């Protein structure tokens, strides 16, 4: 994009971009609490994109993270990711809900990757003998808690969280009057980088979902919570490609 003064930034405002050019988005020293569960596939299927399918009881991750250093600022994040599949992509995760605490993370996620980020208030820390993460947006929407019973290891984590996880999201440019818009199914990848002596805690986990009209997280039905993990690592997010595109008519 060229302004009268010459080529400028990658994101708007072009003379003072909100976030850096493209991907990767990089993170150092992530602190993340994850509850791994199975969910009712029929409760997620209606909000999946066309061509994306889900099993009867897919795996899901309920993730609350604290990111003290990244190239899109310091922030916290809460998300739900559900295991899905589509032709040519046998395994991926779809994120129906994701929340962050700063505008750089919000805009870069939505504009580059199609991650449906919203601003919210998020907390992560120790409460007595447990690690608890809480998401608020108007009201309390999500609570994830872990009561550690021991230390985990890299092999155990990798059985649930591969080094690189494929993710799919819908990126949209809405129509405006007579001009059509577009919707794109975007493939991106999250790479977790675990050091040689990582801090990993495992144990029993609990998930509480609530919802509002604007944030209907409660419609996702949790079947069984399998485990809880707290871990510290570095991370990279890479945009891959557009898998499918639709024209949105005015």
DSSP for the chain, please give it: -EETTEE--SSSSTTS-SS-SSS-EEEEEEEEEEEEEEE-HHHHGGGSPTT-B--SS-EEEEEEEEESEETT-SEEEEEEEEEEEETTEEEEEEEEEEEESSHHHHHHIIIII---EEE-EEEEEEETTEEEEEEEESEEEEEEEEEEEEE--HHHHHHHS-SEEEEEEEEEE--BTTB-EEEEEEEEEEEEE--SS--EEEEEEEEEE---SS--GGGSPEEEEEEEEEEEEEEEEEEEEEEEEEEE--
pLDDT score recorded for residue 93 = 97
pLDDT category of residue 1 using cuts at 50, 70 and 90: low
How far is CA 200 from each of CA 107, 128, 140, 194, 207, rounded to the nearest angstrom? 31, 18, 27, 10, 19
Identify whether 248 is part of a domain.
no
Structure tokens at 216: 């209907």
Neighbouring CB atoms inside 10 A of 103's CB total 15
pLDDT score recorded for residue 10 = 79
Q: Indicate if the pLDDT at residue 22 is higher than 90.
A: no
Structure tokens at 146: 């872990």
120-172 confidence digits (pLDDT tens):
999 999 999 999 999 999 999 999 999 999 999 999 999 988 999 999 999 99
Mean pLDDT (the chain, rounded): 95
Identify whether 170 is part of a domain.
no
Identify whether 56 is part of a domain.
yes
Identify whether 152 is part of a domain.
yes
Identify whether 247 is part of a domain.
no
36-61 confidence digits (pLDDT tens):
999 999 999 999 999 999 999 999 99
128-137 confidence digits (pLDDT tens):
999 999 999 9
Contact in structure between 15 and 3 (CB atoms under 8 Å): yes
For residues 115, 188, 220 and 204, what is the CA-based torsion angle, rounded to 10 degrees? Answer: -110
pLDDT category of residue 20 using cuts at 50, 70 and 90: confident
How many domains, the chain? 1
197 vs 216, residue with greater confidence:
216
pLDDT score recorded for residue 121 = 98
169-185 confidence digits (pLDDT tens):
999 999 999 999 999 99
pLDDT category of residue 250 using cuts at 50, 70 and 90: confident
Q: Indicate if the pLDDT at residue 71 is higher than 90.
A: yes
Identify whether 79 is part of a domain.
yes
Average pLDDT over residues 93-106: 97
**Could you give the CA distance from residue 122 to residue 36 in angstroms, rounded to a whole number?**
19
pTM over 0.75: yes
Identify whether 179 is part of a domain.
no
CATH of the domain at 77: 2.40.400.10
Burial category of 71 from C-beta neighbours within 10 Å (exposed 0-12, middle 13-18, buried 19 and up)? middle
pLDDT score recorded for residue 83 = 97
**Could you give the CA distance from residue 9 to residue 6 in angstroms, rounded to a whole number?**
10
Characterise 107 by phi-psi region: left (phi > 0), alpha (psi -120 to 50), beta (else). Answer: alpha
Structural domain of residue 49, as residue ranges? 28-161+196-231
pLDDT score recorded for residue 160 = 87
Length reported for the chain: 250
**Could you give the CA distance from residue 60 to residue 66 in angstroms, rounded to a whole number?**
20
Lowest mean pLDDT among 15-24, 56-65, 96-105, 188-197: 15-24
pLDDT score recorded for residue 127 = 96
Identify whether 101 is part of a domain.
yes
Share of the chain above pLDDT 70, in %: 100
């Amino acid at each position: 994009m060229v302004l009268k003064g010459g080529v400028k930034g990658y994101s708007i405002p072009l003379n003072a971009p909100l976030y850096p050019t493209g991907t990767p988005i990089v993170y150092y020293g992530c602190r993340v609490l994850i509850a791994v569960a199975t969910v009712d596939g029929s409760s997620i299927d209606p909000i999946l994109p066309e061509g994306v399918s889900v099993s009867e009881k897919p795996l899901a991750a309920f993730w609350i993270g604290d990111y003290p250093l990244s190239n899109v600022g310091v922030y916290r994040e809460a998300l739900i990711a559900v295991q899905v599949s589509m032709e040519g992509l046998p395994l991926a995760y779809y994120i129906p809900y994701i929340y962050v605490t700063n505008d750089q993370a919000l805009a870069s996620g939505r504009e580059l990757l199609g991650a449906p980020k919203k601003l919210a208030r998020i907390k992560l820390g120790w409460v007595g003998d447990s690690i608890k993460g809480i998401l608020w947006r108007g009201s309390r929407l999500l609570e994830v808690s872990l009561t550690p019973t021991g230390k985990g290891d890299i092999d155990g984590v990798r059985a649930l969280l591969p080094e690189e996880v494929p993710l799919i999201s819908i990126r949209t440019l809405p129509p405006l009057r007579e001009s059509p818009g577009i919707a794109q199914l975007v493939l991106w990848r999250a790479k977790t980088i675990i050091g040689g002596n990582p801090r990993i805690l495992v144990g029993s986990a609990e998930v509480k979902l609530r919802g509002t009209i604007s944030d209907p997280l409660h419609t996702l039905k949790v079947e069984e919570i399998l485990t809880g993990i707290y871990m510290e690592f570095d991370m990279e997010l890479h945009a891959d490609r557009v898998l499918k595109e639709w024209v949105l008519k005015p």
